[in-house]
Structure 1
Amino acid sequence: MRLTITYENHIPINAFRWTPSPELEPLHYHSSLEIGLCISGSGFFYFGEKRYRVAAGDIFIVNNRELHIAQSAECDPSTYIFINFDPRLLLGEEESLLLPFAYSSDHFDNRMTSASPLSAPIGALIEKVWYELDAKQDGYLSMAKSALLELCVLLLRHYSTGMSKLEWKRMSDSFRRMRPALAILEERFREPLELTDMADALHISPSRASHLFQQELGRSFKDYLLQLRINEAKRLLISTNLSAADVCFESGFQSIPSFYRLFKSIAGISPLDYRSKFSVCAIIENTRQ
């Protein structure tokens, strides 16, 4: 389920307090980036097939593609402060600030626990953004934006420390170099796309574009496009009631037999088995066990 995010101010930042339901609700995604701070209680936070236990002080990072939902513990409801903001806000300041949100879902830890040394300063900045947007004192938008940018700089420095300077520079350069092609892929992966479309976006030859995909992303253009389509199929299977055939075509596949074959080769199970295993109802049953 896609949520439409609207912003109350000309600077595209929202902040709000929220207590999730103890009943597990459908997973959703939205075009905004999101950072959440659990300020009390306990429960779970779901990101697609991943599930995290939640405690006060934990921080969660959500990009604009990943399905997610929080759930409160029945006898200890959790309360969060969430910040939503438009990715273009960071792009207009310093595009490297987007790097922590350009994660690969399968290998990324969305949770920063309260035990992390960075949890307290980031949590304080989340609370500051919420306070400024709620109190609306003179200059509050500038203060909220300033706190958000500081927060994102801390995230950038945190994730960059796990790599050598050379590795981080390579990742940053790769992000900048490939961004035009990746933007087209994320927007149009449901359509028929060819390597020549990527070459045109990057203003290079198709052979050079093929080399860049392999060199910078560690996979071919076809493999990257296939993964986007498989991820979309997973999202539709667990968040909608569409038939497997409809999921096939909505995800960009042109043939139902090839969809079933490719999905199983990557996910390890068939599309319908995937729905049975990771649907909201299945997650609820697993939680109760």
Structure 2
Amino acid sequence: MRLNITYENNIPINAFRWTPNEKLEPLHFHSSLEIGLCISGSGIFYFGEKQYRVGVGDIFIVNNRELHIAKSDECNPSTYIFINFDPRLLLDEEESLLLPFAYNSDYFDNRITSASPLAAPLGALIGQIWNELDAKEDGYKSMAKSALLELCVLLLRHYSTSMSKLEWKRMTDTFRRMRPALALVEDRFREPLELTDIADALLLSPSRVSHLFQQELGRCFKEYLLDLRINEAKRLLISTNLSAADVCFGSGFQSIPSFYRLFKSTVGLSPLDYRNKFSVHEIIENTKQELSR
């Protein structure tokens, strides 16, 4: 089962607390990457056919392809803090930071136990991201992103030393293959763009490019393209006074009705409702009104 993830902080990072059900629910996956910290209780975390006993302080790494779900022990329900985020946030910063999440699920150990020397610094950074996104003090988005980047650097250093040179080379080669395709999509997503355009530019067959997107990103080309356009539309809605029609065409959509339909189904709000809720201008105006009272 695929879950649709929306981001609530005008930055592609979420932080939330979650207590799993005591009964096993269906496994799911999502386009975001995820890191979870058990803060109380116990239970089991399932990744496909793999199972991990869960204790306080254990940390779990989840990529955007592997089916997973957690279950609480009946007598001692577990609670987690989860951080999920858009992979492009790391890709835009330093592509190697994505390598810990590009694992082969059959052989990868998703759990970093509380006994690991890495658990304490990772747990502290997860807590910092949670606090920043919860309190929303000045500069919170930069602080949350900074803490996430530091966390991912620690993961990169940890897994680069624990994997074989052959496996590490396989993953880095994959990113070298994908980077030109992703750069091309990010450069041209505001234009009419088809999978065949990417294939022609890279001198690959459309089926090969489609396979690369599905295999390495866990989503098809159209889903990746839609995410870019939706995020650009959100940026334009909250940071400009452009009309909805101008936002539609400025973010790559070719039809106003399809823009409204896809935005609402993806974000959960209409474009204008999203602007009213998150607009920078609206927030500043409301703050001025509060200060004048």
**Could you state the TM-score of these two structures normalised by the residue count of structure 1?**
0.62
Give the number of aligned pairs: 204
Question: Offset of 1:202 from its aligned partner?
Answer: 3.9
Matched position secondary structure for 1:22: coil
Question: Offset of 1:175 from its aligned partner?
Answer: 2.2
Question: Offset of 1:10 from its aligned partner?
Answer: 1.9
- What letter is aligned with 2:92? G
Specify the alignment match of 1:72 in structure 2.
72
- Distance in 1 between the 2:50 and 2:171 partners? 25
- Distance in 1 between the 2:83 and 2:141 partners? 14
Q: Structure 1 pair 170/43, CA: closer, same or farther in 2 (3 Å)?
A: closer
Please list the CA deviations of residues 25-57 of structure 1 after superposition, one character each: whole Å capped at 9, or x if unmatched.
111111110000001110000111111110011
Specify the alignment match of 2:102 in structure 1.
102
Please list the CA deviations of residues 178-225 of structure 1 after superposition, one character each: whole Å capped at 9, or x if unmatched.
555799xxxxxxxxxxxx999756437x8xxxxxxxxxxxxxx8xx88
Is the CA contact 1:178–1:202 (under 8 Å) kept in the aligned structure 2?
Answer: no
Matched position secondary structure for 2:106: helix
Residues 144-223 of structure 1: matches in 2 within 5 Å? 144-163=144-163, 168=168, 171-179=171-179, 200=200, 202-203=202-203
Specify the alignment match of 2:122 in structure 1.
122
Aligned-pair identity in percent equals: 81
Structure 1 gap segments, 5+ residues each: 184-195, 207-220, 233-289
What is the RMSD of the two structures over their aligned residues, measured on CA atoms?
A: 3.3
- Distance in 1 between the 2:106 and 2:93 partners? 28
- What letter is aligned with 2:68? H
Structure 1 position 89 matched with structure 2 position 89: yes
Is the CA contact 2:9–2:133 (under 8 Å) kept in the aligned structure 1?
Answer: no
Residues 3-18 of structure 1: matches in 2 within 5 Å? 3-18=3-18
- Distance in 2 between the 1:166 and 1:84 partners? 29
- Distance in 1 between the 2:33 and 2:167 partners? 25
Is the CA contact 1:8–1:14 (under 8 Å) kept in the aligned structure 2?
Answer: yes
Question: Offset of 1:176 from its aligned partner?
Answer: 1.4
Q: Structure 1 pair 199/13, CA: closer, same or farther in 2 (3 Å)?
A: closer
Question: Offset of 1:150 from its aligned partner?
Answer: 0.3
Q: Structure 1 pair 139/77, CA: closer, same or farther in 2 (3 Å)?
A: same
Question: Offset of 1:174 from its aligned partner?
Answer: 4.3
Specify the alignment match of 2:50 in structure 1.
50
Matched position secondary structure for 1:20: coil
Q: Structure 1 pair 46/202, CA: closer, same or farther in 2 (3 Å)?
A: same
Question: Offset of 1:127 from its aligned partner?
Answer: 0.6
- What letter is aligned with 1:122? L
Structure 2 gap segments, 5+ residues each: 184-195, 220-293
Q: Structure 1 pair 16/166, CA: closer, same or farther in 2 (3 Å)?
A: same
Specify the alignment match of 2:139 in structure 1.
139
Structure 1 position 111 matched with structure 2 position 111: yes
